[in-house]
Each structure stands twice: as structure tokens, then as C-alpha cells.
Amino acid sequence: AETRVALVPGGPHPFFANWEGGGVDAVKDFGVASSDYRVPQEWKLDMQNKMLESLVSQGYNAFAVFPGDANGTNAMVSELKDFGAPTVSIAGCTQSPSPVEFCLATDVYKSAYQGTMALIEAMGNEGKIVHETSLLIDPNTQLRVAAVEQAIADAQAEGKKVELYQHLTDVDDQEKADQKINALLAGKAHEFDGLVSTAWVASVVTSKALRSSNNEDLKFIAIDHDQIVLDAIKDGVIQGTMLQNPHGQAYIATYALDKLLNGCTIKADAPFSPTPQHTTFIDSGTMLVTKDNIDNWEAEMKAVTDGIMATFDEKFLDCAS
Amino acid sequence: MKNDNLMKRFLAAEWSSLLILSLVMMAAMTIITPRFLNFDNQAILTRSLAPLLIVAFAQAIVIGIGQMNLAVGAIGGMVAVFFGGMMEAWGFPIPVAIAIGFACGVAAGALNGAIIAFSGINGFIVTLATLSIFKGLNLGVTKSIPFYEMPDALVWFGEARFGPFAAILIVPVICVVALAWFLKYNIYGRQILAVGGNAHAAELAGISNNRVTILAHTISGALAGVAGMLSVARLGVGQPTIGGDWLLASFAAPVIGGAILLGGHIPILGTVLGVLVIILIENLLVLYGVDPQYNEFFVGALILAAVGFNHWRSLRAEARLKEGKA
Amino acid sequence: MTDVALKIENATKRFPGVLALDHAALELRPGEVHALLGENGAGKSTLIKIITGVHEPTEGTVWVDGEEVTFKSPHDAMDAGIGAVHQERNLIPRFTVAENIMLEAVPTKRGQVDYAEMRRQAEYWLSELDLDIDPDLPVQRLSVAQMQLLEIARALSLKSRVLLLDEPTASITEHEVQVLFSFLRKLKAQGVAILFVSHKLEEVFEICDRVTVLRDGKNACTNVPISDLNRDGVVAHMVGRDNALSDLGHRAPVDAPTKLELKDVSTRIGHSNVNLHAKKGEVLGFYGLVGAGRSELARALIGADKITGGQVLIDGKEAKISSVQDALRKYQMGYVSEDRKGDGLILAHSVADNIGVTIWHKIAKFGGFVTDTMQRKSVRGFVDRLEVKTPSLQQTLGNLSGGNQQKVSVAKWLAAETEILIIDEPTVGVDIRTKGYLHKLIWEVAEAGVTVLVISSDMPEIVAVADRLIVMNEMQVVGDLPNSRDYDEMSQKIMQSIVGASDLKESA
Amino acid sequence: MPPRPDAVNLNELLARIAKSAGLALIVGVLILIFVYGAQGFTSKFNLFNLTRNLSVAAVVGFGMMVVLALGHMNLALGSTALASVMIMGWVMKVAALPVPVAVGCGLAVGSLLGLLNGWLIVKTKLHSFIITLATASMFLGLVLIMFPGGPISDLPREFTGISKTRYFGWVSGMLLITLVAGVVLAVMYRFTTLGRQMLATGANPDAAELSGIPVSRAILLAHTLSGFLAALAGVMFTARQGSALLSTGEDWLLASFLAPLLGGTLLAGGYVSVVGAFLGAMLVGILQNGLVLIGVPDFWVEFVLGLTLLITVSLDRLRNVLAARRGN
Ligand SMILES: Nc1ncnc2c1ncn2[C@@H]1O[C@H](COP(=O)(O)OP(=O)(O)OP(=O)(O)O)[C@@H](O)[C@H]1O
Ligand SMILES: Nc1ncnc2c1ncn2[C@@H]1O[C@H](COP(=O)(O)OP(=O)(O)OP(=O)(O)O)[C@@H](O)[C@H]1O
Ligand SMILES: [Mg+2]
Ligand SMILES: [Mg+2]
């Protein structure tokens, strides 16, 4: 049958824009019938579910989904499965046990851990750290909080004089983030030494705030590839950002879904790298971008994708024919 | 004796308890972090105050005629991305972009008002529908990707400050003063309040309810548009998400300040203080480092306390008035 | 110049289910007061609303100064020099007295509202009407009567050439009526054409020059000089049959145990040391000038306001009333509000629901089930008895004529079958036939053992109806008079009580 | 002389039916358009999902409608649902009590929170808007404090099964719950003292008070009912999602107003239409579903949705105006 893949994010957000290219490239490279980027109108589970339902009605037969809710999306996926449509979760994982074929995403725990470690290094191995993260009701928030705390604990174990100052949550809305982060910087900047962000919006707002405050004492490791963040790294305003691999996620997912629809299955003994959240997890890659590699991160990221692709069939797929 | 009178009059004013409340909160914050009173911090505070102030009045003017404008955020967001887009994609100079952006806000508001006036459909439904339309335009145009390249002058304006005041505060100050004058000393302003107070009576007095509806919504749209553009200046980015979060605060501030949802009364100082209280509550929680899990709870509790306090005072004042009459 | 200021012909207005006006006609001349009469629901207010552009007529033509005009909105009518006081109160509660008076003609200076000038003009109109109200007071603090006077002041301030007054005297007392009349005479002299609607025929004969009577939306007589008519003639035109008015008859003083007693009652509003009592089956009248505090006392009695001191005894036992519900359920006490638009009736609901509201808990079956049919059954009798003019029981109450709304307001409390009934201004806006009928009804109810407290600003009414009279002034009882039912004698005694009390106060 | 006042007036009866008939007609036309114009609209899969979504949306609408009857609002509808389903999930999963007990607990929590809203409104005499705005935050906050571990997933099949039942292969079983709730509400407003008291309170609180209606009790009960319905909607939503989610009710606010208002319920209070609220939910649900199927580009769906909504409402309005003219 023709494979018609739908790439469905949780809602409109610039992070996912690179999926579109990933899907298009996969269609070109692997001869898949189509791989379309379809966006729910709003960031809410209900909207996403309705979108998925209507996509089935429109004839899509394979899905790569960013779970609008790690638990809630499972129910939807099992219905897609009942309908005979293979589904993978990308960019974020569902909660296991889960009916998705696999989850291809950034290891948020690893990314937050590495980001915090990078920050500690940038701070010269001492000082207090603020962690900015997203909504409390987002389950990944818990993982990120844990990762940051673990990284700090590990650093302390190595004798570094670092400690956690505060978790600042609920900074997903641009205007709210602007107010909260600026209030924190203005009121208490002298009481801590570095910030690590695990949320897109907070990264953007903090990069801007640091640029305008000219506060060279504060170190900052952001997340994702917003232009403002990248520019801030180029100009040395902030120290780095943890990149994710949205293009690769869509690219690999399209490829795999096509295979799954055409007779392949996921190997029973596939070498997944389970996370606390998800058992059939595949790391889509993450990398730290600093001033040093700011100009060729796209190529480096492509290499990561190619690395996963090179061994994908062999590691994960069981194709009868 | 005279002081006594002054004190009494102060206490009888509907905004007095809110003022006391904000002062108490500021004092609390100064104790928690002495740096709170820093010019730096004050500038940050006034900076986040600025767009919300305008938003609150965009809603207040419609509440004044006993209606609601659910589309304030959507208009703000739409104007914001048009404004950003004109400067980034078409390279329009700032004044031209401002003028066109303002016109967009006016047009959007006038559209709301005209539909409500001429169709007779409930304003709630109309503005809910246009909310979708304006937000849809925003999404359709931007595909949710922001406009980044804002002119330096605008970014500078968004960040500049004079002493403890953010430069952008000048915009809401002008808006609020103009609105206060308009509502008190302009015939059309009085007509808005008259229609809100008793639409039928106003109609019989020869005031066209339709015209007033259109006027109030147009002003609302214009203010929402200004708030949208101001947010672009403040954030330095033409964000499609601007306005997404305005709705509740836009109601909360005037209502905390003493506005009546049935219409007929727009508390100017009350609304300003209402915005201040909301911002202070959020700042207090950040500065106090309240465990994030408790955050939401305290926001609710503090709003309740603020309103309860204000209401208690007005009841007291009312009772005293009655007794005094006896 | 023609000698007709305003003319309307073929005026027809059809509401769903109702033909309110049926080819009615009328003409107003400069310098004349023209009476528009008719029973409740005859179409008087509708005619005025058509002239002023509030309602679009189904048919009909209006001429002003001989020129045909069409008014699309009240604004147009105002521009053409037509001012009106409508039957229902139409004020902006939060605006001050001055602002309300000057609502149509806001004085401005350099584009700004000129508050000083506004106040000055408002004060002028207030003093013209001999009204002692602070122009800076918000209107929501005024009593119903004060509001009515305010509306008159507002219409006068327009200095219109045609002035339409729909029952301007319905809820004001004799004194204010006289002030108003002397002012109307002044306007007459200036050549203003005035239309005057009233159910009080004495007033009509006192001030009017011509009469038009409507009956069921049609002209029963048109533009007839008043000199050609007498009281009976007018009534015959209105009623359309001869069984016009029956006499109230006689009623012996009541000798029964005391039902309700107030001992040194004081309230939050300012009543102090109010002492009075009412017997079972007695009709106790309350008279007082505007703002005397009668309505407020009644509200306190039924638990809608706070009693701060003293005792209320019902059947000799101290009554504890903390809510209207208490009053109704525990003590079978009800209150017919004077403000039917404000808190008396639910205008948006049906006639049946408005009457049924006090008895739902009684007629409900199986612990709370009420159907429209059950309700209709219980309610129909009252509607028939009071001859409420409505196309059906499901008609929205707000669509009824003012007088008919008043009947519903009384019917609702008759339905409640209370033991103590307080009726505040029972016949505001009610036509003379129904008025007589209502008076009779009050007696009937009393005869059945109900203690009726009647508050009225209409002295003839109170003298005709009450067994005994309580006179109030400035929140105090200043007289407790047995009623001889002789109008001249009683009116003198009443005024003496009031004046005497004020004198006492002044000399103190 | 006055016509027989109790003659059952055929015109009025027709008028009452016609009020909802306009909306019903529009919904019917929309269905026709989508049946022929939107590929996949009539598939059993789609219809099943449509009826399922609609069932929840209608109950949410009812939850707002019962306070709108008073002229009040309940901005805490979503948070109430959240608190109810989290506690229900806890009882079901952690305390491992039988499903009916857990559902009962959830509904009880919702009712209690509603009662709390009502009590605060009666005691403080503040506008319901501001009270429920504050309690919305507080309920959400309490849930975050009580459930730091986040959602409760993997609810028993016995429970999630509620959302999977279907009749004729395409009608969701949940529709039955909604219909029962609707009928009960309709009976309450038309045939009980309580319902009438609530409407009278909404239309004119002062007059209701002066007529001896227990206004405070009516307010308390209406808000309790609103809390109950919020919880019921939450339970249905949760059955569908398979887990008690922290995002429950997050975005119900505007939709909850939209359904009853489209159906003719007055924002000012005093009049409700249960059938109308159901049709309103249907209109929105069908539009959302059909517009995507008909091929409107994703980023423009929101725009087209608003536009069609406006057009349909205007058509209904136009029909009413024309009907009134004809009555003249
Ligand atoms: N908006 C309306 N809708 C339906 N019927 C109406 C409406 N307004 C008035 N009516 C009906 O029209 C008829 C005439 O009413 P109108 O108010 O003109 O009487 P009126 O002569 O002023 O009586 P009253 O002395 O009681 O004030 C009444 O039967 C009334 O029920
Ligand atoms: N809510 C209120 N608060 C303060 N004062 C009030 C209030 N309501 C009425 N008053 C004032 O109390 C006084 C007594 O009014 P009340 O209505 O009892 O008089 P009344 O004897 O019934 O006369 P009438 O109804 O003819 O004016 C009036 O001066 C009125 O302005
Ligand atoms: Mg009338
Ligand atoms: Mg009175």
C-alpha cells in the first residue's frame, strides 16, 4: 500500500518547523508516497486527538506524533493501532507501557544533564545555578528537574562548589517568561552565577535579557536553535545551547513507518535504550553548540542522523521479505 | 479636623484599599529582597506592567457598556505580527508600521462593534468567533514562526529606561490619561457610560446604542493593537503568541479594580491598581522563590484576598454612609 | 403657521398576538394640554412610543407642523422638538442627578463636558419643580417618586415644543402635582403643546383642554374639548358600557385581636422608635410625603432590610424575621413592591411565572414538581379576577401595559394567601375602573381576616380605603388617626400631623 | 375582552420550538454539506469519534449553562474537573477501590468544589466571575500540590471501556450519559420548583428575593450542580484518555460558554435552553471536524472556523428577525 505519513506536533511551535523538511527529504530519498507536516491549531491534547482522528478519516495510514500528553496520547495511539496505522512518537515520548512502535526523541534527561554540566564548566566549577523549565503539568519537566539536580550532585561529588539556587517553572509563555525572568535577574542576579534552560521560550527570553543587561558574570546554557539564541552564542553573550534534532526525527520516522507498513516489524530484541519514561526509546541525538561549532552545527547534526540511519535496519527492523 | 476629613475621603475612595494592598506587598518584597526597590528592578516591573495596563483598559472600555471583548488577545497578537512582519519582510519604517498597525487594531475593533450592533448577536459570541478569525489570520500568516529582525530603534525603546521607569511605560500613561479624560469630559465618553448604565434609557435619551457599541469596540481594538505593538517592542520579537495569555488578566484587573460586569462604570485608578496587584503577586512569588507547586494556589488566594479586602471596605463605606444619613 | 403642532392618523401597531393600536388618531395644538385617556392596555403608551420613534408603527402617519415626518429613533423625535416622559423610569442609576437631567443636552465648553454649567442648569430645573435634591447625588439613591420628578425635570429641560407626558403623576403626591401643574400652565402660555396621560380624572379636569379617549386601541372620542364632557361621560367612553363605577360601600371599624405590633422599632436606614399596631382583618393606611420612609419601613418588616432595635410582635409573640422567605413561610407576610420594574416583578418571565412565584412550593407535587398546566390552573383565577389584559398566560410580562403589570404584581401576592399583606402604592398606573375594583378587593381580603397595610401617596385613595391611618414624616410616625372617610376632614388632619411634626422639629 | 388566558397558544408553542429549530436546521445543513463534501466524514470511525467528542463538549456546556441560568459564571469549571478526576484516579489506582466508588468520589469532589464556589459567592456577595477566577487558580494549585507525581495512568479497562462502547458501530455510548444529563436538566428547569427558582433568581434577583424565593439556596445548588457536571465531563474525558491527566479541563473555558450561548441561553441569566446547548456543542463539534476533512489547510482552520461560526450564527439571527417580521 502507499504510505501516507502524517507528522503531527503537539501544536504550533517553531521547534517543529524543521520536521517538514525532514519529511520532504525522506519522501525524496526513500520514495515514500507522502510525509506531511500537519499541525493542530492549538496546544492542547484534545485538539491534537481530533486532528489525528480526522487524519485517519482523510486516509493517512502512518503517524509520527509528538505526544500532546505522555499518558493521554497512549489512548489515542492504541486507537490508531486498532485501525492498522503504525505510530511512533517523536521529539517526545509517551509513557510506557505504550502502543507506539518506538520513541525517537532527544533524551531529555541526558540533554538536561549535559547542559548543566556544560554550565558548571563555564562557571568555572563553582557557584549557584538557576534552572528554567516549562509547565509543571508537562511530565518531562520532572525528568529535567531530576537531571539538573543529579548533575549538580555529581559535580559536588567531584568536589566542585556548585549548588542549585532555584527552579523557575511555568515560563512557556513569552510574555510571562519575560516578566518572571527579568524580575529574577533584576532582583536576585547577584545571588546566583549561572542559568540553564530546558525550555525554548525561557532560552530565548534569557538570551535577550542577558544581552541587554550586559551582565558578563552570569553564564547561560540554553536549549534549541531559536535565532536569538544562536546569535547570542555567536556574539558571546551566552555560552551555549543544547541542540535537538527535529529534522532527523522526521526523516528517520518517515523511513521507519514506511518499512513498518510494508511488512517489517520491530525486532523483539532491538537494542533500545530505555529511559525512566519509555522503554522502546531511540536517542535522536543531542549536541552542545558553543561559539566553536556555531557555524556548522547543521552539518554535524546531519552526521548524527546519518549515524542512526546507517545501523537502523540492522538494529531495529525485522523484514520478512 | 481637616486631615481627618481627607483621611475619610481617601478611605471612601474605591481604590484606596487596593493602594494599601499594593503598598503592603511592595513592603513585603522589600523586606524579602532589599534589592526590590532598585531602579533596575522597578524598571523591570514597570516594563511588564506596560502592555498589560493597556490590555486591561481595552477590556474595561467594553465592560463599560456591559459587554465583553474576548478578542483582545487575538487582536493584539494579529497586530503584533503584522507590525513585525511589515518591518522585517517589507522593511517599512517604524512610524509607518505603527500607523498601519494602529489602523489594523481600529479596523478589527470596529468590525467587532459593527457586527454586534447590526446583527444583534450577543457580543460574547461575536468576539469569540472573531477571536478565531484574528488568531487564525495570525497563525496562517506566520505559521507560528516569529519575525525576528526588529529595527534597533524599536528594540532600544523596548529596553530603555529612565531611572526606575521603563521607557515603554510612557505609552500606557498616555493611553490611560487620554481615556480618563475621554470618559469624564467627552460627550462620547459619557455616552459609553450612559449606555452601560442603562441602555434603554440612553436610547430614549437619543443616544444611539449601535454607535456607542461600535465606538467602544473600536477603542478596545485600538488599545489592544497598541498593546500588541508595545509587546513587540518589549520582547524585541514579532511573536505570534503575543496576546495568547491576556484574556483572564484583562478581566481580572478591571474587576479587581471595581468595574461592574453589567456595565456603566469604568474605574480608572482601580484598574491601574488592579494590574499592579496582579503583577506584584507574580513578582512576589518569583522573588520569594515559592515552591512552584504552590504558585498557582497563592495566585488564586491572593486575588481572592485582594478583592475581598476591597469589597469589605466598600461595604463598610456604604454602611457608614447610611448611618451617617440617619 | 398652522394651529396643529402634531398630528397622528391611522396609527396601528400590531405585536405578536396583540393589536395594540387600531387606526388611532390625535392632534395636539400649541398652548393646549391634551388628555389621552383609556383603560389599562388601551394603547396610550404605545401611541406615545410610536410618535417618539421608539416603536416602528405597523401603519400610520405623523405630521409635525403640517409636515409629514418619520422618526426612526428617539433621537429623530428629539431633533424635531418632541420631548417625552415615558411611563417606565428611564434613568442612568450611576449618573448623578445633574447628569441625568442634562443627559440629552450635555453642556460643553471647548469640546469638554462643562460640569459646572451642567450643575447650574440642573439646579435651575430642580428648583423650578420645587425639588430639594442634591444634584451631585447618584440617581440610584433616590426614591421612586423622586426619580419620577427627575424625569419630568429632564423632559422640561429640553424646552421642546411638544411635550408628551405618560402618567407623570402616577407616583407623586398632591403637592408635587400642583407644582407640576403650575409649571405646565407656564408652558401652555409659551405655546407648548402638551399631551398628558393620567388615570386620575380630577387632574384631567383641572389642567386639560381637550380629550382623546382610546378603547382597545381605537378612538372612542377624538380631540373633544373638555367643556363638552363630564366625568361620567369620560368614563363611559373609556369603559364602553354603562356599568361604570360601583361604589365602595361601607365598612365598619374592625374589632379583632391585634395581629401585628411594632414596639420602638428602629432600622438601619434611620427609622427610630416606630410604634404601631394593626388588628386582624384591619386595613391600615400609611400616608406620608415623598421620602417619608414608609416603603423602607415595610422592607425592614419583611426582612429585606435590617431592623436594628425594638420588637416586632405577630400574634403577640416576638417575630424573628431574617429574610423575606422567613416572612412568607413562617409568618405568612407578603409585600407588594412599589417598584415593579426594579424588584417587584420579573419582566422577562411570563405572566404565569410571575404570579406563580409565591406559590410554587405550595402547588408542587412529589417534592418539587410543577408543570405549566398545574401553575396555570392555580394562577388563572387571579388573572381573570383582576382582568389582566394579556393574550395568554405565557405572555412575557414586560410586554404588558404598565397598569396590567401592576395588576399582576398584586395578583401574585393575593395568590400567596398571606395573613399580613403590605401593599405599596397599590394602584400606580391603574385605570379608574380597576382602581375601584382593587379597593374592593382589599376590603374583601381584609374581610377574610387578612391584615392589610396599604401604603399610598394618593390621599383620596388612602382615605377611601383605610380603616385607620398612620401618618409618617422623616422616618417617624407622626400620627395615628381613626379614619372617618370624610376626605376634607381627613386631609386636613393628615396635613396637620405632618406640619405639626416639622414645626416641632424646627422649634427644637 | 381578554382572550381565554389559558388557551394553549399554538403560536407560542411553535415559537418555542422554532427557537431551537433554527439552530437544528443549520446543523442539519452543515451535516449535509460535510456528508457530500468532506471525504471520510461518514466513516464509522469518524462518526464514532465525533459523537464521543460531542458528548463531552455538551456536558461541559451544561456545566456552564446551569450557572448562566443565574446570570453567574463558573471560570473554575476546568479546574474543578481536574481536581475531580485526579482524586478519582487516585481512588481507582492507588487506593484500588472499585470503579463505581472512584467515579462516585470524583463526582462528589466536583459537587463539593462547586458548593464551595456557591458558598463564597453567597457569603461575600462578590461577582461569581472574580470568585471563580480565584478558585480556578486555587483548585489547580491544590492539585499540583497534592499530585507532585503528575498524571495517574493505566486506569482499569472496566473504566476506560465507558468510552469504547458503541451502538450501531458509530454512536458513542457516552452520548447516552449526555442525553440523560440533558433530559434531567430539561425536566428540572421546566417542571420543578427548584429550576424555576433558579431562573427567577437569574432574571431578577431582587424580585426573586422579595417574592420569598430562597435565593441563596438557589445559588448554592446551581453552583453545586455546575461542579457536578464539570466532574462528570471530566470523568468522561478521562475515560477517553485512559488516564487522569493534569491537562484535564485546561482549555474548556471558552467552549463551555460557546455551546449554551449559541443555543440561546442568556448571559444575563433567567433563560436557558438545554436542547440549544446540545445543538450548540454539536455545531462547534461538527464544524471543527468537518473543516479539517474538507481540506482547509491546518494553519487556516482556526480562521475558517471563526468565519463559518459567524456566518452560521448570523443566518440563524436573520431567520429569527425574518420570522418576527412575518409575525407582525
Ligand atoms: N412590546 C410589546 N409586545 C407585545 N405587546 C405589547 C408590547 N407593548 C405593549 N403591548 C400590548 O399593547 C397593548 C397596549 O399597551 P399600552 O402600554 O399602550 O397600554 P396603555 O394604554 O399605556 O395602558 P396603561 O394604562 O396600563 O399604561 C397592551 O395590550 C399591551 O399588552
Ligand atoms: N438604598 C437606600 N440607601 C439610602 N437611602 C435610601 C435608600 N432607599 C431609599 N432611601 C431614602 O430613604 C428615604 C425614604 O424612602 P421611602 O421610599 O421609604 O419613602 P416613602 O415614604 O415610601 O416615599 P416614596 O416612596 O413616595 O418616595 C428617601 O429619602 C430615600 O431617598
Ligand atoms: Mg401605559
Ligand atoms: Mg414608597
Residues B106-163: tens digit of each pLDDT: 999 999 999 999 888 888 889 989 999 999 999 888 887 888 888 888 888 888 888 8
Report the pLDDT averaged over residues D127-132. 89
| The domains spanning C6-239 and C258-332+418-507 adopt the same CATH topology | yes
- Predicted local confidence at residue D5, as pLDDT: 39
pLDDT digits (tens, 9 = 90+) for C30-58: 999 999 998 888 899 999 999 999 998 99
Closest CB to D303: pick one of B115, B136, B298. B136
Q: CA of B284, closest CA in chain A: separation in Å? A: 9
Q: Which residue of B has its CA nearest to C271?
A: B326
The CATH superfamily assigned to C6-239 is: P-loop containing nucleotide triphosphate hydrolases (3.40.50.300)
| Contacts by C223-230, CB closer than 8 A, 24 or more apart | C223/C26, C223/C27, C223/C34, C226/C35
Assess whether pLDDT exceeds 90 at residue B222.
Answer: yes
Q: Is residue B169 part of a domain?
A: yes
CB B263 within 8 A of CB B197: yes
CB B129 within 8 A of CB B115: no
Q: Is residue B190 part of a domain?
A: yes
Interchain CB contact of A57 with D (< 8 Å): yes
Question: Residue C290 C-alpha to ligand 2 middle, in angstroms?
Answer: 8
- Predicted local confidence at residue D328, as pLDDT: 43
Q: Which of C175, C158, C155 is nearest to C166 (CA)?
A: C155
Judge: A137–D150 Cβ closer than 8 Å, yes or no: yes
Pairing of strands A34-37, C420-424: unpaired
**What is the Cα–Cα distance from B326 to A64, expressed in whole angstroms?**
75
CB atoms inside a 10 Å sphere around CB A209? 24
- Which of B165-179, B265-279, C140-154 has the lowest average pLDDT? C140-154
Q: Which of A22, A83, A91, A102 is nearest to A318 (CA)?
A: A102
Q: How confident is the model at residue C200 (pLDDT cuts 50, 70, 90)?
A: confident
Three-state secondary-structure class, residue C309: strand
The CATH superfamily assigned to C258-332+418-507 is: P-loop containing nucleotide triphosphate hydrolases (3.40.50.300)
Interface residues of B toward C, Cβ cutoff 8 Å, are: 184-187, 190, 193-194, 197-198, 200-208, 264-265, 319, 322-323, 325-326
Question: Tell me, what amino acid is at D12?
Answer: E
Question: Residue C86 C-alpha to ligand 3 middle, in angstroms?
Answer: 8
**What is the Cα–Cα distance from C476 to C407, expressed in whole angstroms?**
30
Q: Which residue of A has its CA nearest to B287?
A: A184
**What is the Cα–Cα distance from D223 to D226, expressed in whole angstroms?**
5
Interchain CB contact of C66 with B (< 8 Å): no
- Predicted local confidence at residue D4, as pLDDT: 43
Q: How confident is the model at residue B255 (pLDDT cuts 50, 70, 90)?
A: confident
pLDDT digits (tens, 9 = 90+) for C281-316: 999 999 988 778 899 999 999 998 888 888 999 998
Judge: B255–D302 Cβ closer than 8 Å, yes or no: no
C-alpha cell at position B2: 481637616
Q: How many domains does chain B have?
A: 1
- Predicted local confidence at residue C502, as pLDDT: 67
Element (H, E) at C267: strand C258-267
Q: How confident is the model at residue D326 (pLDDT cuts 50, 70, 90)?
A: low
Inter-chain contacts counted by CB atoms under 8 A, chains B and C = 71
- Residues of B whose CB is below 8 A from D307: 129, 132-133
pTM for the structure as a whole = 0.87
Question: Residue C475 C-alpha to ligand 2 middle, in angstroms?
Answer: 9
- Predicted local confidence at residue D2, as pLDDT: 40
- Predicted local confidence at residue C130, as pLDDT: 82
Question: Residue C375 C-alpha to ligand 3 middle, in angstroms?
Answer: 28
**What is the Cα–Cα distance from A63 to A163, expressed in whole angstroms?**
42
CB B60 within 8 A of CB B254: yes
Q: What is the mean pLDDT of chain D?
A: 87
Residue partners of D4: CB distance under 8 A and separation at least 6: none
**What is the Cα–Cα distance from A241 to A294, expressed in whole angstroms?**
10
Q: Which of B299, B312, B16 is nearest to D123 (CA)?
A: B312
Q: How confident is the model at residue C251 (pLDDT cuts 50, 70, 90)?
A: confident
Report the pLDDT averaged over residues B7-28. 79
Judge: B297–D309 Cβ closer than 8 Å, yes or no: no
**What is the Cα–Cα distance from D277 to D281, expressed in whole angstroms?**
6
Assess whether pLDDT exceeds 50 at residue D16.
Answer: yes
| Cis ω for the linkage preceding A97 (within 30 of 0) | yes
Percent of chain B topping pLDDT 70 = 92
Report the pLDDT averaged over residues C329-347. 89
pLDDT digits (tens, 9 = 90+) for B49-88: 899 999 999 999 999 999 999 999 999 999 999 999 999 8
Report the pLDDT averaged over residues C143-165. 86
Assess whether pLDDT exceeds 70 at residue D208.
Answer: yes
CB B64 within 8 A of CB B264: yes
- Predicted local confidence at residue A139, as pLDDT: 64
CB atoms inside a 10 Å sphere around CB C110? 6
The upper half-sphere exposure of residue A77, i.e. CA atoms within 13 Å in the direction of its Cβ, equals 29
**What is the Cα–Cα distance from B4 to C181, expressed in whole angstroms?**
46
Interchain CB contact of D251 with A (< 8 Å): yes
- Residues of A whose CB is below 8 A from B36: 187
- Predicted local confidence at residue D10, as pLDDT: 59
Q: Is residue B189 part of a domain?
A: yes
Judge: D134–B124 Cβ closer than 8 Å, yes or no: no
| Cis ω for the linkage preceding B172 (within 30 of 0) | no
Decide: residue D296, CB within 10 A, 0-12 exposed, 13-18 middle, 19+ buried: middle
- Predicted local confidence at residue B163, as pLDDT: 81
Q: Is residue B235 part of a domain?
A: yes
Assess whether pLDDT exceeds 90 at residue D19.
Answer: no
pLDDT digits (tens, 9 = 90+) for D55-101: 999 999 999 999 999 999 999 999 999 999 999 999 998 888 999 99
Question: Residue C94 C-alpha to ligand 4 middle, in angstroms?
Answer: 21
Q: CA of D264, closest CA in chain C: separation in Å? A: 14
Closest CB to D302: pick one of B135, B251, B299. B135
Can you list the positions of beta strands (E) in A106-207?
A: 126-132, 161-168, 194-197
Q: Which chains touch C (3 or more CB pairs under 8 A)?
A: B, D
- Which of A146-160, A251-265, C368-382 has the lowest average pLDDT? C368-382
- Predicted local confidence at residue B3, as pLDDT: 60
Q: Is residue B170 part of a domain?
A: yes
Higher pLDDT, A74 or B102: B102
Percent of chain A topping pLDDT 90 = 28
- Predicted local confidence at residue A137, as pLDDT: 60
- Predicted local confidence at residue D13, as pLDDT: 60
**What is the Cα–Cα distance from B58 to B231, expressed in whole angstroms?**
14
- Residues of C whose CB is below 8 A from D209: 304, 323-324, 343
Is C96 a pocket residue for ligand 1 (Cβ < 6 Å)? no
Q: Which atom of ligand 1 is nearest to the CA of C400?
A: 31
Judge: C16–D327 Cβ closer than 8 Å, yes or no: yes
Closest CB to A142: pick one of D41, D150, D302. D150
**What is the Cα–Cα distance from A181 to D79, expressed in whole angstroms?**
26
- Which of A98-112, B27-41, B67-81, C308-322 has the lowest average pLDDT? B27-41
Which of D1, D4, D6, D9 to mutate against chain C (most C CBs within 10 Å)? Answer: D6
Assess whether pLDDT exceeds 90 at residue D107.
Answer: yes
Domain extents for chain C? 6-239, 258-332+418-507
Higher pLDDT, B284 or B102: B102
Interface residues of B toward A, Cβ cutoff 8 Å, are: 33, 35-36, 38, 40-41, 43-45, 47-48, 51, 136, 139, 143-146, 148, 159, 231, 234-237, 239-242, 244-245, 279, 282-283, 286-287, 289, 292-293, 295
Percent of chain C topping pLDDT 90 = 35
- Predicted local confidence at residue B318, as pLDDT: 67
C-alpha cell at position B129: 468567533
Identify any residues that bridge with C224 across adjacent strands, giving them in sequence order. Answer: C211
Judge: D247–A137 Cβ closer than 8 Å, yes or no: yes
CB atoms inside a 10 Å sphere around CB B258? 23
pLDDT digits (tens, 9 = 90+) for C472-492: 988 889 989 998 888 888 888
CB A171 within 8 A of CB A202: yes
Q: How confident is the model at residue B240 (pLDDT cuts 50, 70, 90)?
A: confident
Q: How confident is the model at residue B325 (pLDDT cuts 50, 70, 90)?
A: very low
Q: How confident is the model at residue B11 (pLDDT cuts 50, 70, 90)?
A: low
Instruction: Determine the structural domain holding residue B113 and report its residue range.
Output: 47-244
Judge: C348–D327 Cβ closer than 8 Å, yes or no: no
- Which of C385-399, D14-28, D157-171 has the lowest average pLDDT? D14-28
Assess whether pLDDT exceeds 50 at residue A250.
Answer: yes
Report the pLDDT averaged over residues D129-147. 90
Q: Which chains touch A (3 or more CB pairs under 8 A)?
A: B, D
**What is the Cα–Cα distance from A242 to C115, expressed in whole angstroms?**
64
Q: Which atom of ligand 1 is nearest to the CA of C47?
A: 18
Report the pLDDT averaged over residues D145-169. 84
Name which residue sits closest to atom 22 of ligand 1, judged by CA: C45
Q: Is residue B58 part of a domain?
A: yes
| Per-residue DSSP letter, D76 | T
Q: Do chains B and A touch (3 or more CB pairs under 8 A)?
A: yes
Buried b (16+ CB within 10 A) or exposed e, A106-144: bbbbbbbbbbbbbbbebbeeebbbbbbbbbbbbbbbbbb
Judge: B292–A174 Cβ closer than 8 Å, yes or no: no
Q: Is residue B259 part of a domain?
A: no
Report the pLDDT averaged over residues A301-315. 89
Element (H, E) at C224: strand C218-225
What ligand has the least distance to the C-alpha of C44?
1
